Structure formats: C-alpha cells, structure tokens
Amino acid sequence: MGTLSLASDLSSNVVIAVVLFLAVTILYTHIYKPLFATSLRRVPGPKSFAATKWRLALADYRGTRTPLIHSLHQEHGSVVRIGPNEVSFSSLTALRKIYGAGSGFERTAFYRMFDVYGRQNLFTFASTKAHAERKKLLAHAYSKSMILSPDAIAKPLIERNVGKYLDLLKREKDTPQEIFQSLHWFSLDSITGFLYGEGQGGTQALQGDEAHKNLLNDIIDPSRRLLSWFAVHLKNYTKWLYSQTGAMESLIKSLGLLPMSKPATYTGIRVHALQAWSGFEALKTTSTSSDDDGTAIMDILYRQNGSKKTSSLDGLDMASELADHFLAGIDTTSDTLMFAIWALSRPENRRYQQSLIDEVSKIPAVACNDDGVPALEATDKLPYLDAVLKETLRLYAPLPASEPRSLPTDTTIDGYLIPAGTVVSMSPYTLHRNPDVFTDPLKFDPERWLDEAKVPEMKKWFWAFSSGGRMCIGIHFAMAQMTTLVSAIYRAYTTSESAKQEGASPGITSRFEVFRDETTAACKDHECWIDFQKQS
C-alpha cells in the first residue's frame, strides 16, 4: 500500500508540475512578455490584441480586419498596437518613414503566399534591392509614354477592347447588365494581351470564349477568402492539406477540411500563364521573332533579361513575374470600374454623371476611332473624369487593406520605439477616410478633387497605388483602361441602378474581406446590376 501511495503521490506531483509549467508558460507568453517586457507596451491599443496574434486572426476570419483597425485608430489615435509584434499607423510622417524611398523597410513573409511556380517576383521580394533590380527590367515598358505610344501594344489593345465592350452592351441593350462579370472579362483580355500579346496567350473573354471566361471562376469563388485565411494563419497545415493525394485526399475531402475545393485559387490563371510562357519560350528556341510585334511585356522582359551580362533569371523566374502581373491586373481594374459606374448610377449622384457626360461629349470626333472609342491620349486629359476616378479609388480602393513592412533594426516612428522585426503597416482604407482631410469622407464627391485649395493636401493622403519604390508598376496601364472605357460608355449611354440591384452596394473580395459601400444596408457579393440607356 505504501508503494502504491508513493507512486500515486509522485503521479499527482508530476501532473501539478506540468499544469504549473503550462500556466507559467501561458502567463509569460501572453501576459508578461507582450504586455510588460517590450517597448511596444507604450503603444496604445486593446490589451487583447497586444496579448495574442489570434485576436487579429479572428477579425481576419470574420472579414472585419480593415474596418476594425480603422475603428481602433478612431478610438486610440494615429498609432495603434494590433498584435504582440504588430503596430498600425495612420499619419503622413509614418507614411514617409515606412514607405518612402530609401526607408529600408522590407516586405514581410506575408507576401510569400503570392509566389508563383515556387519563384519570387516583383510583388513578393522582401528586399528593396532585389525589387529594384527586377523593376529595372520592366519599368520602361510600363511607363506612361509607352502606354500612350501608338507603336506599342497597350494603346491599340485597350482601344480595341473598349470597342468590344461597347459591342457587348449593344448586344444586350434590352436587358440590365451584370457588370461585375463583364468588367472582369474586359480587364482579363486587356492584361493578357498586354503581357503576352494577343497571339501568344491573350484571351478573348469579351468575344464569348467560355474557356477564357472560366479562368475567372476561382477568383470570384467566395471560398477564396477562407483559403487566404488558412494560407496566412495556418500556413504549414494548409500546405499539407493541399499536398495530399489518394486515400488521404479522399478522407480530407469527405471530412470537409479543405477551405476551398481543388483546383484552388488562381490555378486556372497560373496554368494559362505557364502555357503562354512555355509556348513563347519554345518559339524563341527555334525562331528569332515571336508571333506578336515584340512590344508585349513577355517579349520585352525576355529581351531585357537577355541583354544583361550577368542575368540570374531563368524561364520560371520570368513566367512567375508575368503570372503575378496577370493576377494583379484583373480584380484591381475591374473592381474600380464597377464602383465608378455604380456610384455614378445612384440617384443621388445623377449630377456627377451628367457633368461627366458633358465633359466626354466634348471629345472631338477626330480624337475617336470609327467605333466612337476615344483615343487614350484624349481621355488622359479630362479633369472631371480624373476626379471621378480619384474619388472612386479613394472611397473604394480595390486593395484597401494594410501593407505590412518590417525593419531589421530598432527605429522610432511618431515618437514610439519600434523594436527590430516589428511588423508595421498602414492602409488606404484609413488614410482615405481622414475627416480632417476629406470632408464627409464616406460621401462620394468627385468635385472635391476640383477644389484647387484642397487638392495638394488630399494628394498627400491618397494612397490607392501605394508609394515610394514599391508604388504599383501598372498604374499607367490601369488608368488608361479606366479613363478610356468610362469615357466611351458615357459618350454613348446614361446609366442607372437596375431594380435587381435594389439599392444594395456591390461587394468585392480583397484577401480575407468583402468590401462595399458602408453607407448602404445591403450588399450583393460579386454582383452589380446596371441599366444602360442609349443617349439620344
């Protein structure tokens, strides 16, 4: 009995010791270390966010991260701690410090989820040096002078695709248009033609090619948001889930464990992109020219890379780069176009639409082609159109969430000591809703951008395309598409919300979240119904 009693006591002591050890570990990890043993303890913000990264992960899961962080800034000021090792900022001084040229801040591991074919690209490079070296190969091809040049691929391509979109409206003239889908076809055809050339990988979704339309299926699937959450917060588990085959794969599927059914997000796009590159690369090994005129980004990248004496890019590196631009060029442009048309179609914004119609109707006939499509250089110079698009990008930025960065050394931002390796971030969503800069910030008001006294300050806070060395390389191509299509539509049509829209805001997907107009009570996810009335 004595031996049994001793063994029982020892077992109880072991259990107690284990429990105490776990309790001390939890208290140290989630209480003492994040709340007391770091200089970040001085940064304002809720203790629940400071104690564990899973509080912010919960907001990601619920799809409320960005507006929640915005509300924290409204409560606590321009500096808010949103994680044990993460701080959000919303001041111009922080914007310059973190994202300004030569800041030294690098992209975090978050961006590695956008690697393609196992290779990094312009979007996923952490170091500014690697990013700058890659950007040198492409910067001229994306410059405004090249986009507007009649001898390059962008100008004739965009003008043709705008004509095709007008043809689509004519074919469907007696019914309301669901423009979320059709605008995605427009941006898809534009970016693939620009990247690969219309004969080497360019799509024809606007012409009704079902296979090309289907490339968008996994982008618009709502479960994409859940997969993104798993890929960020349960990275290794997600990799394991999607690498299983055979009986284990069948078991995983039967248990409903996959965040998104196979093929998962971007699979179709990446297959198409790789096929386009492989066909081009094979052609280059047997011929000195490609099927296009040599101004597609694929051909330019290939030549630029080949002209470097010590090139480090192989075929997959270039295929990855192009595939990333492919993906980046679809949602961003189409979502902005959709919100611009929807906002102009709302009854309370009728006068803005009429002012835009008045402006685009003055584009001379000699500046338009036979289909009535204005030339890019004509639409580039319209101040009211520019104001409409700026206001759309301010209020409905297609990438509104935070952009994380980190610095390998200690630094000070807005008076707070930020330890090395801390994740710092800012978001267009919060910057664009500063009431001290943008009067009545939730109101769609393009004419705020015509107030010469206020525009200089507003431009400082306008961050739809990021800033510094990491500023969006595709800004001029995106703006050329948007100015040309919007001006062509409102030269020919007036628009209004369809009864099918029922006053609801359209909704778009960005990472984990659905973004919409906050002033509306309802939202139609990935839908936007608009009536087009032919102008007399």
Which residues fall in the annotated binding site for heme? Answer: 472
**Token digits for 252?**
């995983």
Query: Annotated binding site: which residue ranges?
Result: 472
List phi, psi (to 5°) of 508. Answer: -120, 155
What is d(CA 22, CA 34) in angstroms, rounded to the nearest whole number? 17
> 380, 398, 361, 371: which is closest to 491 by C-alpha?
361
What is d(CA 444, CA 343) in angstroms, rounded to the nearest whole number? 7
| DSSP of 97-117 | HHHSTT---EE-GGGGGG-BT
What is d(CA 155, CA 159) in angstroms, rounded to the nearest whole number? 6
- The residues, ordered by sequence, that sit 6+ positions from 403 with a Cβ below 8 Å of its Cβ are 99, 425, 426, 427, 466
Check whether the bond before 435 is cis (ω within 30° of 0).
Answer: no
**Token digits for 477?**
């191509």
* Distance of alpha carbon 421 from the chain centroid: 24
**DSSP H or E stretch at residue 531:** strand 529-534
**DSSP H or E stretch at residue 134:** helix 128-138
Instruction: Give the chain's largest Cα–Cα span.
Output: 106
| DSSP of 321-377 | HHHHHHHHHHHHHHHHHHHHHHHHHSGGGHHHHHHHHHHHTTS-GGGB-TTSPBPHH
* Distance of alpha carbon 38 from the chain centroid: 33
24, burial (CB in 10 Å: exposed 0-12, middle 13-18, buried 19+): exposed
**Token digits for 531?**
């009536």
Strand partners, 530: 177, 497
What is d(CA 372, CA 240) in angstroms, rounded to the nearest whole number? 53
**Token digits for 453?**
């006294």
Report the residue count for the chain: 536
Here the contacts of 108-111 (C-beta below 8 Å, separation 24 or greater) are 108/404, 108/405, 108/406, 108/423, 110/232, 110/404
Grouping H, G, I as helix, E, B as strand and the rest as coil, residue 213 is helix
Q: How far is residue 476 from each of residues 144, 226, 293, 514, measured CA to CA in Å? A: 6, 32, 21, 26
| DSSP of 484-521 | HHHHHHHHHEEEEE-TTTTTPEEEEEETTEEE--TTSS
Considering only CA atoms, give the Rg of the chain: 26
